[in-house]
Structure 1
Amino acid sequence: MSFFSVVYYILASLAYLLIFPYLLFKLRNPKYKVAIPSKFFLKENPSFKEEGIWFHTCSMGETKAIKPLVDEFKNNFPINISVITNTGFQEAKKLTTNVRYLPFEIFLPFWIKKQKVLVVMEAELWYMLFLCAKKRGAKTYLINARISDKSYASYKKFSFFYKKIFKNIDKIFAQTQIDKKRLLELGAKEVEVIGNIKLAQLPIVTKELKRVDEVLITAGSTHENEEKLILESYKKEFGKLVIVPRHPERFEKVNLLIEEYIKDKNLTYHRFSSNESFDSDIILVDKLGELNNIYAISDVVILGGAFENIGGHNPIEPAYFGCKLISGKNIFNQKSLFECVNNYILIENEELRSTLENLQNLKGAKLVQKGDINPIIEELKGL
């Protein structure tokens, strides 16, 4: 190890000792009962057994984005995935059985075993991760890399440190030309621009539906309490309201809720399973696989999962179709995907009625940029 590596390891060890009491305190929270022991005490967190393609991501959004890459190589190589967050861990388990929480850096020199390739998503720039993987013989890649205007100044302040990290990264796939320029300034060796790979999996329309003459408002992927909020915020003059619950087991409950709501009101209603039209004022979509088809003809989307403490849902789908996009503020599981969208609004629950009253002032959402994973696939195949 170089002199810098030794100093860094000593400082990381001191940091570990300093945060040790805090870790014990955090363990009182059930949310961290698996993650903290895994990352900081290596409890039930062994090294990857098989030499294969090792992906490292942070949370759910980044882990979802690597699915096409996993699918491309899973039949020929062992797929190993390390993560940082609980949501990332749960998402990674859908892709492979070989999932680990990434240990704290002082454990990595003896935790990391030889892998064919290390592929790291976005801003997971851990010095020991790249150094040790490289020392064990892996080719190292950083994909979907970006450096925002806000973080660029702090990156430059510590440019000497990032040069040390980039020294152990063989190639970087960046989102934009601006990101490429900044990465090269910070010491990156080889950078290729391919766009945002989170937008490589775009929505597919499986059935073309006929557009309606009125404004079509779709409440997509709604959860408990959200349908009630949306119904109470709705007026017939806003347009037609389509409600698509997230979970099919709730279809009957939502049906009863709507039937109760329209009593003594001049509103028509039907279920999509019995009549695949949008003739009524309110339509309950109680069939699976229809959401993107309906987004394609919608003018406005109220995106569920964020008016309750769920974490939000995928904004890429309605933005792809140019819908006016409204969501609640609890988007903590989808922040990375919302960064790919322009012209959406996040509101408090009590603001929904007034927002719908001012629909004419909203702009249609747009995707910031598209992405292409094929250069990454070709690079890995070339190995």
Structure 2
Amino acid sequence: MKPFTLIYYVLSVVLYLVALPLLIYLLFKQKYKESVPARFFLFKNPSFKSEDGIWFHVCSLGEAKALKPILELVKERDIKITTVTHTGQTEAKKYDAEVRYLPYEMLLPFWIKKQRLLVVLEAEFWYMLFATAKARGTKVILLNARISDKSVKKYLQFAWFYKRLLANVEVIYAQSEVDKNRFLALGAKNIEVIGNIKLAGKIIKTKEYTKPKQECIVAGSTHESEEESVLKSYVEYKKQVDAKLIIVPRHPERFESVYTLMKSYADKNSLTLSKFSQTQNFETDLILVDAMGELNNMYAISDIAIVGGAFREDVGGHNPLEPAFFGCKIITGKHFHDQKELFKYVHHVQYVEPDEIHKALLASKDLPASMVEEKINLEPIINKILEQ
């Protein structure tokens, strides 16, 4: 082990020991009951069964979904996938692949087996992952790589570290010229701009629902505090327009708390409320979609989509391609830094502060539906990767 790698590894062990009480506490949290034991204690998380496969690493749900068009181009290969979050794991298990949680860095030297390629999506930069994979003889490739506006200053402050990390990478396929220049500033080499691979994804609905007669608003992929802003705006909007509001929280562990919040608004404003899992219809004013995999189906019957994740600076926005594909008029927040490249291709979007959602809803009447301008052909890119 190289001196720098050894020092880094020792620090990762120290951090693990310091964080151990917190990790034990998280074991009892519903959100982490599967991922923490798997990632930090290797519980039901063994090494991959075979070697010499193609290993994809993603963080969470969005990146796991983005794998679909890629995996369709490598069907005959031995595919392995690792994720960080539970939602990413659930999505990854839909594919014909060996799926695992990515262990904490301290455990990686004992866990990783040689694979032909390790393809890491977006901004999953783990030093021990890259260094250990390369030491095992695995070629490391970054795909759909990005460095967000919010993060770039921090990366540049630690450029000495990222230069060592990126030295383990064979080639970087970046989302934009801006990202390419940021990687160059960190000392990276062999960078090619390909656009955002999410533009290649096939957007489909899994079920056919009848669109309500009233105007239909869906608040999709919402986070804590965003639902309250949407509900306040909807209550005011409802006084002027006969409309329904469907809320689809980003994380399933929040279903009950969001329902409690919606019930308080329903009771105070004489609105009807239902859980979609219980009714499977849209007869009430407020509907909580408390089931996974339904978001596209909701976009398909909606007139207006309020895309969550961008009303909070610490989230960075969510994918606008799906509501645009179904012709929704899109409203989102101003903190969409993690999805900036995708929003570049979506037209007629209203970017507002949380307290401006009501005005945006009223303005939607006179605006055209959102639309996606561009697609990307993944096949030549994947062929290049397979030639590595």
What is the CA-CA distance between 1:46 and the residue it aligns to? 0.5
Listed one character per residue, the Cα deviations across residues 266-303 of structure 1 (whole Å, up to 9, x for unaligned) are: xxxxxxxxxxxxxxxxxxxxxxx9878777xxxx5135
Q: Which residue of structure 2 lines up, in the alignment, with residue 341 of structure 1?
A: 343
The verdict on how the C-alpha distance between 1:123 and 1:356 changes in structure 2, with shifts beyond 3 A counting, is: closer
What is the CA-CA distance between 1:324 and the residue it aligns to? 2.6
Q: Which residue of structure 2 lines up, in the alignment, with residue 56 of structure 1?
A: 57
Q: Are 2:282 and 1:254 aligned?
A: yes
Are the counterparts in 1 of residues 307 and 331 from structure 2 also a CA contact under 8 Å? no
What is the CA-CA distance between 1:68 and the residue it aligns to? 1.0
Instruction: Write the letter of the residue equivalent to 2:107.
Output: F
Residue 302 of structure 1 aligns to a residue in which SS? Answer: strand
Q: Which residue of structure 2 lines up, in the alignment, with residue 68 of structure 1?
A: 69
Q: Which residue of structure 2 lines up, in the alignment, with residue 30 of structure 1?
A: 30
The verdict on how the C-alpha distance between 1:321 and 1:100 changes in structure 2, with shifts beyond 3 A counting, is: closer
Q: Are 2:305 and 1:302 aligned?
A: yes
Residue 170 of structure 1 aligns to a residue in which SS? Answer: strand
Distance in 2 (alpha carbons) for counterparts of 1:158 and 1:347: 32
Distance in 2 (alpha carbons) for counterparts of 1:32 and 1:254: 32
Distance in 2 (alpha carbons) for counterparts of 1:304 and 1:165: 34
Residue 80 of structure 2 aligns to a residue in which SS? Answer: strand
Distance in 2 (alpha carbons) for counterparts of 1:56 and 1:133: 12
Distance in 1 (alpha carbons) for counterparts of 2:177 and 2:103: 33
Distance in 1 (alpha carbons) for counterparts of 2:171 and 2:43: 33
Listed one character per residue, the Cα deviations across residues 153-207 of structure 1 (whole Å, up to 9, x for unaligned) are: 11111111101111110000001111101101212121110111112225479xx
Q: Which residue of structure 1 lines up, in the alignment, with residue 331 of structure 2?
A: 326
Q: Which residue of structure 2 lines up, in the alignment, with residue 357 of structure 1?
A: 362
Distance in 2 (alpha carbons) for counterparts of 1:242 and 1:201: 29
Moved more, 143-152 or 121-130: 143-152
Q: Which residue of structure 2 lines up, in the alignment, with residue 185 of structure 1?
A: 185
Instruction: Write the letter of the residue equivalent to 1:147.
Output: I
User: What aligned pairs does 1:174-213 form with structure 2 within 5 A after superposition?
Assistant: 174-201=174-201, 203=203
Q: Which residue of structure 2 lines up, in the alignment, with residue 382 of structure 1?
A: 387
Residue 151 of structure 2 aligns to a residue in which SS? Answer: helix
Distance in 2 (alpha carbons) for counterparts of 1:128 and 1:177: 27
The verdict on how the C-alpha distance between 1:338 and 1:325 changes in structure 2, with shifts beyond 3 A counting, is: farther
Structure number with greater Rg is 1
User: What aligned pairs does 1:114-193 form with structure 2 within 5 A after superposition?
Assistant: 114-193=114-193
Residue number among 316, 319, 337 corresponding to 2:321 in the alignment: 316
What is the CA-CA distance between 1:102 and the residue it aligns to? 0.5
Are the counterparts in 2 of residues 219 and 304 from structure 1 also a CA contact under 8 Å? no
Identity of aligned residues (%): 43
Listed one character per residue, the Cα deviations across residues 11-45 of structure 1 (whole Å, up to 9, x for unaligned) are: 11111111111111111212212211111111111
Are the counterparts in 2 of residues 27 and 33 from structure 1 also a CA contact under 8 Å? yes
Instruction: Write the letter of the residue equivalent to 1:15.
Output: L
Distance in 1 (alpha carbons) for counterparts of 2:203 and 2:41: 41
Query: What TM-score results when the alignment is normalised by the length of structure 1?
Result: 0.71
Instruction: Write the letter of the residue equivalent to 1:219.
Output: I
Report how many residues are paired.
329
Are the counterparts in 1 of residues 307 and 320 from structure 2 also a CA contact under 8 Å? no
Instruction: Write the letter of the residue equivalent to 2:217.
Output: A
The verdict on how the C-alpha distance between 1:71 and 1:234 changes in structure 2, with shifts beyond 3 A counting, is: same
Distance in 2 (alpha carbons) for counterparts of 1:38 and 1:369: 39
Unaligned runs of 5+ in 1: 206-215, 259-288
Query: What TM-score results when the alignment is normalised by the length of structure 2?
Result: 0.70
Are the counterparts in 2 of residues 146 and 175 from structure 1 also a CA contact under 8 Å? yes
Residue number among 201, 217, 220 corresponding to 1:219 in the alignment: 217
The verdict on how the C-alpha distance between 1:38 and 1:367 changes in structure 2, with shifts beyond 3 A counting, is: same
What is the CA-CA distance between 1:106 and the residue it aligns to? 1.0
Q: Which residue of structure 1 lines up, in the alignment, with residue 260 of structure 2?
A: none
Q: Which residue of structure 2 lines up, in the alignment, with residue 89 of structure 1?
A: 89
Distance in 2 (alpha carbons) for counterparts of 1:219 and 1:382: 46
Distance in 2 (alpha carbons) for counterparts of 1:362 and 1:124: 37
The CA RMSD measured in Å over matched residues stands at 4.1
The verdict on how the C-alpha distance between 1:186 and 1:2 changes in structure 2, with shifts beyond 3 A counting, is: same
Listed one character per residue, the Cα deviations across residues 53-85 of structure 1 (whole Å, up to 9, x for unaligned) are: 1000000001111111112113x2111100101
Instruction: Write the letter of the residue equivalent to 2:305.
Output: I
Are the counterparts in 1 of residues 127 and 165 from structure 2 also a CA contact under 8 Å? yes
Are the counterparts in 1 of residues 73 and 379 from structure 2 also a CA contact under 8 Å? no
Moved more, 43-52 or 27-36: 27-36
Residue 195 of structure 1 aligns to a residue in which SS? Answer: coil
